Amino acid sequence: MHKIVILGAGYAGLTAAVSLAGRTRRREDIQITIVNAEERFTERLRLHQTASGQRLADLRIPELLADTRVEFVRGWVTGIDVSARRVRIDDERDLEYDRLVYALGATADTDAVPGVDEHAHTLDSAHNAEMLARRLASLGSGTVAVCGSGLTGVEAAAEIAEQHPGLDVVLLGKREPGSTMGPKARAYLHIALARLGVRVVSGVEVVKVRPGSVDLVDGASIAADIVLWTSGVRVPPLAAAAGLRVDDTGRAVTDPALRSVSHPQVYVIGDAAAIQQGYGVMHGTCQSGMPTGVHAATSIMRELDGKQPRPFRFGYVHTPVSLGRRDAVIQFTRPDDSPKRFFLSGRPAVWYKETVSYAPWPSFQRLSAFPAMGSFAWRRGGRFTR
């Protein structure tokens, strides 16, 4: 019996599980287990909607895996013994594996700046987003400081401003919002934020979060009744503690096939992996995470069939940004994530994001039913797409 254990049921881990399940339907010699701390599947792409008070579908991992023969184990991973090929769960269970897929993702870095962990909200989970939604609903009036001007911060600020027009929403960050976009798409994003009443403060660095305010590096302070932290991420220390080779951010370094360079029986996918491509190391997104899950599944099956796994190749296609429920901007990109001239905005962009970026579960279902689609549907011109 070949035992495959997948750690983490986010976009990357669940993609790997359903892709493996589809490819092993007729094999009785393969056992697939996926471990996750919660039964609920977290739609991270929509957590800013949850935070603003909107109700989303309650997707349960065991139900999503129904009829796949994948065993779901609820629990926190507390340790990995790569020598014994064993994973320890918080209830003292041990899971043995022949192949391990490490997909534990990343969370907001709440340690880098004093006061963040104690006084700021994050969008790490549905529970955290729901806590923020309750705070926002009880506020009535006041200021919400969104710290971090990346895509998560932009989407959260826009959503909160649209759903709570009585609140003053301030978006703080070192960089200008939309800094990776082309000039026209970036201009559209700024106009949309202004229309929603979001006040943008760029070129600033938050050095401390206090109850009721955030302190900036230049000595200034901005009053805030609620602080949402979206600046920077960190990965769990489990990979490093297990002895996997990691980079300076703690992400496990992979070979071209997505195997750990120090322990090739371990595949590392999604945000927890430092994956080198021709243009540099990939940055973590759902856009890149799901293809890594497909590739890991394909590679494991090739190994079990006595073949060598192929190198993983990935190119970015777009940068999709929602700007509330009625507006969005989609910046199309080159494979290295640099912006092309073409972009979508307004209603067409809303439709595009809802159809392409916001609906991963239909992709999971297709992968389970038609596993061969995984390599084809995400590959165009020799590179993976979303």
pLDDT tens for residues 200-251? 999 999 999 999 999 999 999 999 999 999 998 999 999 999 999 999 999 9
pLDDT at 379 over 80: no
Q: Contact 221/213 with Cβ under 8 angstroms?
A: yes
Q: Contact 299/264 with Cβ under 8 angstroms?
A: no
How far is Cα 142 from Cα 122, in angstroms, rounded to an integer?
19
Q: Using one digit for the tens of pLDDT, what is the confidence trace for 83-115?
A: 999 999 998 899 999 999 999 999 999 999 999
Q: Using one digit for the tens of pLDDT, what is the confidence trace for 37-80?
A: 999 999 999 999 999 999 988 899 999 999 899 999 999 999 99
Q: Which CATH number fits domain 116-229: 3.50.50.60, 3.30.70.2860, 3.90.1200.10, 3.40.50.10860?
A: 3.50.50.60
Domain boundaries, the chain: 2-37+75-106+235-315, 116-229
How many Cβ atoms from other residues are within 10 Å of residue 38's Cβ? Answer: 15
The type of residue at 25 is R
Q: Contact 354/266 with Cβ under 8 angstroms?
A: no
DSSP H or E segment with residue 347: helix 346-352
pTM of the model: 0.92
Q: Contact 259/82 with Cβ under 8 angstroms?
A: no
Please give the pLDDT value at position 385: 33
| Homologous superfamily of domain range 2-37+75-106+235-315 | FAD/NAD(P)-binding domain (3.50.50.60)
Tokens of 227: 């602080």
Tokens of 39: 């039964």
